[in-house]
């Protein structure tokens, strides 16, 4: 398993409730792909959302996000962390 | 105080040790600006590094990073998180 940071653009004006619902939608189906979404952070002004996950692959992360209705624009493996 | 996610590009091949040293350099001077760098994640392949911090402003985050020798390419306030 590896940690991934994925990035969504175009979510200008996202609200706390919308972020919560999107995260819950991921959590509801993530186990199908052996993915776990740990945290997400959102900047409503620039419309940027960052999601930190642990997953077997970037494709698995994207499949969960896609099924939940919010494909990621970027997905980076982040094997190093402090 | 607000949480910020900042992004560094161009760090292809960054090692665990280099990430650790960079983070330590931030931690050593962060209190001068009332900033706290909580976590950082790195993708040596794309050269992308993400840093999560809590700070009074984006400028304060950049001043610490700049003095530590690694200016950020992007800094986003992320007032929303899950």
Residue B17, chain A, CB below 8 Å: the answer is no
d(CA B41, CA B33): 22
Mean pLDDT, all residues of chain B:
98
Across the A:B interface, residue pairs with CB atoms under 8 Å apart total 75
Could you tell me the residue ranges of all domains in chain A? Answer: 2-77
d(CA A36, CA B54): 24
- Structure ipTM: 0.95
Residue A76's pLDDT band (cuts 50, 70, 90): very high
Residue A47, chain B, CB below 8 Å: the answer is no
Residue B39, chain A, CB below 8 Å: the answer is yes
Percent of chain B with pLDDT over 90: 99
B37-72: per-residue pLDDT in tens? 999 999 999 999 999 999 999 999 999 999 999 999
d(CA B78, CA A48): 9
d(CA B57, CA A70): 29
Interchain proximity A48–B20, CB inside 8 Å: no
Which residue in B13, B31, B24, B33 sits closest to B51, CA to CA?
B24
A17-59: per-residue pLDDT in tens? 999 999 999 999 999 999 999 999 999 999 999 999 999 999 9
Q: Which helix (H) or strand (E) holds B49?
A: strand B48-55
B15-44: per-residue pLDDT in tens? 999 999 999 999 999 999 999 999 999 999
* B11-77 under CATH 3.40.50.620, yes or no: no
Residue A15's pLDDT band (cuts 50, 70, 90): very high
Least CB-CB distance to B40: which of A44, A45, A81? A81
Q: Which long-range contacts link A60-66 to residues 24+ away (Cβ below 8 Å)?
A: A60/A33, A60/A34, A60/A35, A61/A4, A61/A6, A61/A33, A61/A35, A62/A6, A63/A33, A64/A26, A64/A29, A64/A30, A64/A32, A64/A33, A64/A35, A64/A37, A65/A6, A65/A26
Assigned CATH class of A2-77: alpha beta
Per the CB < 8 A criterion, the answer to whether B75 and B62 are in contact is yes
């Amino acid at each position: 398993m590896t940690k991934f940071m994925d990035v969504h653009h175009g979510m200008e004006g996202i609200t706390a409730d919308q972020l919560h619902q999107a995260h819950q939608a991921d959590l509801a189906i993530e186990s199908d792909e052996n993915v776990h979404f740990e945290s997400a952070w959102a900047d409503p002004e620039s419309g940027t959302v960052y999601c930190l996950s642990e997953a077997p692959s970037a494709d698995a992360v994207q499949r969960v996000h896609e099924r939940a209705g919010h494909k990621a624009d970027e997905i980076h493996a982040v094997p190093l962390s402090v």
